[in-house]
Chains A and B, each alone.
Chain A
Amino acid sequence: MIKTEALSKHYHIGDTIVKALDNVTLHIPAHSFVSIVGPSGSGKSTLMNLLGCLDTPTSGRYLLDGMEVSTMNDNRLAEIRNRKIGFVFQGFNLVSKLTALENVELPLIYSGASKKERRILAAEALEKVGLTDRSSHLPSELSGGQQQRVAIARALVTRPPIILADEPTGNLDSHSGRDILKLFQKLHELGNTIVLITHNEYIAGQAERIIRILDGQIVEDVEVG
């Protein structure tokens, strides 16, 4: 599913080169639930941006679902993000002017689905996260946990092979956070591939595999019981 070979991302800050990510070789098979853990500044956000096709690597290869994406242009990357990846962000990142249903529809607008298709698929996705009765609410009318569930529905709606979650519980209270984690477990059981990026050990422990990253390199890669 995800395969990286010596993936690196270097930034030039003045005269010094910062190796945000250095020679990361990684394999994440389909239907797995993986946590990527590391403290802030460890390079996990850079890895997330690269895995999420929001950025291109300085060197190395990245095969996503069998496709070499490291050399793709902006437009192709947008297409890949649309079809292959569902994002869940720490800050929810919902469009404030759009209702829950319209937010979930957003990726379908760019994949060219008809209005009817969009309505059906978005309603299905909202049902999966248990928010059917909130579909016409604006994000400001929803609690943090509900907003994050809308964001998860949006990530699911195109049925992407991978769901990338960046600190999905970071802005939530512990109760809502547990609900969201349960939802990820359920999605995993339904066959989704989930990559969870976090600095929180407890949350990381919910996955079946933990990849530890420090100073841009993988320092540990363990299966959890």
Chain B
Amino acid sequence: MGIWQAYRMAVKSIFSNKVRSFLTMLGVIIGVAAVITAVAFAQGSTKQITDRISQLGTELIQVNIFGRNTNRDLTWETLNEFALENADVIAAMAPQVTGNMTVKAGRNSLSTTIRGTTFDYSVINSQSVSEGRYILDIDSDLRQKVAVIGSRIKNKLFENEDPIGKTIKMGEQIFTVVGVLEELEDGAENTKDDQVIIPVSTAQRITRNSAIRNYAFLATSPKNVNEAMDRISEFLTGIYGNENMFRVMNSAQMLDTLNSVTETMMTVLGGIAAISLLVGGIGIMNIMLVSVTERTREIGIRKAVGAKRRNILTQFLIEALLITGLGGAFGLIIGCIAIWGIGKAGLVPAVYSPLWMALSFGISLLVGVIFGMFPASKASKLDPIMALRHE
């Protein structure tokens, strides 16, 4: 008896009990679909963030302050002076205060990101305006209520009107629109086109957030990045007394951090996958054991007419393999549909990982072998006399 014959018998047996076979497969289907969808989600969001970070450029240095940052300790003006003193390695410095607020103009309103900063932010992020002007340092000095809006804000609040000189309301404050940012991402939600830029001093006031915890620096060239970071660290250590109160990072380090986060995420996913496939495997073993008991007489007949242990073992093992294989294949199809859906919905880009697909399919086959072995071996060891007497 060849493998092909065993395969045909297995197909027959699986299809003669469609509902049960499907329910048995369900564990594997869900397991495989969950794994590849979760992996695609993780890889997709990583790709998205990686792309963003690499767009920032290698000269960018981000500084985060964790310490009690009262204006007594550190003001952006102090850091600005420091940047000017170190102009050989630092090309620009911009503070950032961000928050989410509802912006209104007339009867239109929407929620968006408010970013309080200075003119240098446009230099660091290569931002330019398509209409009007950018925030100037004098706006910050005088706490002017002026705003530069992204194209999404313009489209939603002003539709076809020219927004320059018009007013928008954020909280209780009224701002004059002085510029519109150049459109970069089709005016989509949660992109660079979906933000309002205001002077940092004004932002500190309206967000009631006097502490600035975020600064962006631009090194004069990629080779000066490390020198600039060292000097920034030294300066901040001088102010705070130790290095735990702040973090100085550039995009390369951010990518490193991101990769380690992704790795952790993958490990967790792998664990969840292993558990779900284990549970699926136990389900398969359970049903196979029931099936062996139900088919005891059939096994007895087969043995009486000349089936060897090996023949019975192969038959049941192939059946288990076919169940997990089919389950794995269905799981892949459902997973791919889910990934496509996630990509289509614009949550994260759709990433199809052939490696993980092959891996999860392979593991589902392995589960079939491991959990099918015990029932199959039990079937093959049945005594034909007892099996024939079985009712």
Does B145 reach chain A (CB closer than 8 Å)?
no
CB distance from B13 to the nearest CB of A (A): 7
21 A–B contacts, CB within 8 A, in A order: A52-B304, A54-B304, A74-B309, A75-B309, A78-B309, A81-B306, A82-B306, A93-B297, A93-B300, A93-B304, A95-B298, A95-B302, A97-B13, A97-B16, A97-B298, A106-B302, A107-B305, A107-B306, A109-B1, A110-B1, A110-B302
Does B301 reach chain A (CB closer than 8 Å)?
yes
Does B84 reach chain A (CB closer than 8 Å)?
no
> Which residues of A, 1-37, contact B by the 8 Å Cβ criterion?
none
Q: Is the CB of B306 within 8 A of A111?
A: yes
Q: Would you list the 5 A-B pairs with minimal beta carbon distance, nearest first? A: A82-B306, A110-B306, A107-B305, A78-B308, A75-B308
Does A134 reach chain B (CB closer than 8 Å)?
no
Q: Is the CB of A97 within 8 A of B12?
A: yes
Does A184 reach chain B (CB closer than 8 Å)?
no
Q: Is the CB of A79 within 8 A of B305?
A: no
Which of B13, B16, B305, B388 sits near A110, CB closer than 8 Å? B305
Kindly list chain B residues whose C-beta atoms are within 8 Å of the C-beta of A97: 12-13, 16, 298
Q: Is the CB of B385 within 8 A of A78?
A: no
Does A124 reach chain B (CB closer than 8 Å)?
no
Contacts A95-B298, A110-B1 given; does A49 touch B385 at CB 8 Å:
yes
Q: How large is the interface on A (under 10, 10 to 19, 20 to 34, 35 or more residues)?
A: 20 to 34
Q: Is the CB of A81 within 8 A of B305?
A: yes
Number of A-B pairs whose CB atoms are under 8 Å? 60
Does A89 reach chain B (CB closer than 8 Å)?
yes
Does A66 reach chain B (CB closer than 8 Å)?
no
**With A and B bound together, what is the CA distance between A89 and B310 in angstroms?**
24
Which of B5, B304, B309, B388 sits near A81, CB closer than 8 Å? B304
Does B50 reach chain A (CB closer than 8 Å)?
no
Q: Is the CB of A110 within 8 A of B307?
A: yes
CB distance from B381 to the nearest CB of A (A): 9
Kindly list chain B residues whose C-beta atoms are within 8 Å of the C-beta of A112: 1
CB distance from B83 to the nearest CB of A (A): 82
> Which residues of A, 201-215, contact B by the 8 Å Cβ criterion?
none
Decide if the interface of chain B is mainly helix, strand, loop or mixed.
helix
> Which residues of A, 85-102, contact B by the 8 Å Cβ criterion?
87, 89, 93-97
Kindly list chain B residues whose C-beta atoms are within 8 Å of the C-beta of A89: 388
Q: Is the CB of A54 within 8 A of B385?
A: yes
Does B127 reach chain A (CB closer than 8 Å)?
no
Chain B residues proximal to chain A, CB less than 8 Å: 1, 5, 12-13, 16, 297-298, 300-311, 384-385, 388
**With A and B bound together, what is the CA distance between A210 and B117 in angstroms?**
111
**With A and B bound together, what is the CA distance between A87 and B5 in angstroms?**
23
List the B residue with the shortest CB-CB distance to A83.
Answer: B306
Q: Is the CB of A154 within 8 A of B385?
A: no
Q: Is the CB of B385 within 8 A of A55?
A: yes
Q: Is the CB of A106 within 8 A of B305?
A: yes
List the B residue with the shortest CB-CB distance to A155.
Answer: B305
Max chain B Cβ within 10 angstroms of own Cβ: one of A82, A110, A112, A154: A110
Q: Is the CB of B5 within 8 A of A109?
A: yes
> Which residues of A, 169-213, contact B by the 8 Å Cβ criterion?
none
**With A and B bound together, what is the CA distance between A52 and B303 in angstroms?**
12
Kindly list chain B residues whose C-beta atoms are within 8 Å of the C-beta of A106: 301-302, 305
**With A and B bound together, what is the CA distance between A154 and B302 in angstroms?**
12
**With A and B bound together, what is the CA distance between A110 and B385 in angstroms?**
19
- Mask for A116-159, Cβ within 8 A of B = 1, else 0? 00000000000000000000000000000000000000100010
Kindly list chain A residues whose C-beta atoms are within 8 Å of the C-beta of B12: 97
**With A and B bound together, what is the CA distance between A158 and B311 in angstroms?**
18
List the A residue with the shortest CB-CB distance to B307.
Answer: A110
Q: Is the CB of A87 within 8 A of B305?
A: yes
CB distance from B194 to the nearest CB of A (A): 63
Kindly list chain B residues whose C-beta atoms are within 8 Å of the C-beta of A55: 385
Kindly list chain A residues whose C-beta atoms are within 8 Å of the C-beta of B302: 95, 106, 110
Kindly list chain B residues whose C-beta atoms are within 8 Å of the C-beta of A78: 303, 306-309
**With A and B bound together, what is the CA distance between A75 and B305 in angstroms?**
12
CB distance from B294 to the nearest CB of A (A): 11
List the A residue with the shortest CB-CB distance to B306.
Answer: A82
**With A and B bound together, what is the CA distance between A111 and B308 in angstroms?**
10
CB distance from B282 to the nearest CB of A (A): 26
List the A residue with the shortest CB-CB distance to B391.
Answer: A91
**With A and B bound together, what is the CA distance between A110 and B310 in angstroms?**
11
CB distance from B20 to the nearest CB of A (A): 14
CB distance from A82 to the nearest CB of B (A): 2
List the B residue with the shortest CB-CB distance to A111.
Answer: B306
Kindly list chain A residues whose C-beta atoms are within 8 Å of the C-beta of B301: 93-95, 106
**With A and B bound together, what is the CA distance between A160 and B303 in angstroms?**
16
Q: Is the CB of A82 within 8 A of B305?
A: yes
**With A and B bound together, what is the CA distance between A106 and B305 in angstroms?**
7
**With A and B bound together, what is the CA distance between A154 and B304 in angstroms?**
11
**With A and B bound together, what is the CA distance between A79 and B311 in angstroms?**
12
Contacts A49-B385, A54-B385, A97-B12 given; does A110 touch B311 at CB 8 Å:
yes
CB distance from A51 to the nearest CB of B (A): 13
**Other CB < 8 Å A-B pairs besides A81-B304, A87-B305, A110-B1, 20 of them?**
A54-B304, A54-B385, A74-B308, A75-B308, A78-B308, A79-B308, A93-B297, A93-B300, A93-B301, A95-B301, A97-B13, A97-B16, A106-B301, A106-B302, A107-B305, A109-B1, A110-B305, A110-B307, A111-B306, A154-B305
CB distance from B99 to the nearest CB of A (A): 69
List the A residue with the shortest CB-CB distance to B384.
Answer: A54
CB distance from A73 to the nearest CB of B (A): 10
Q: Is the CB of B308 within 8 A of A110?
A: yes
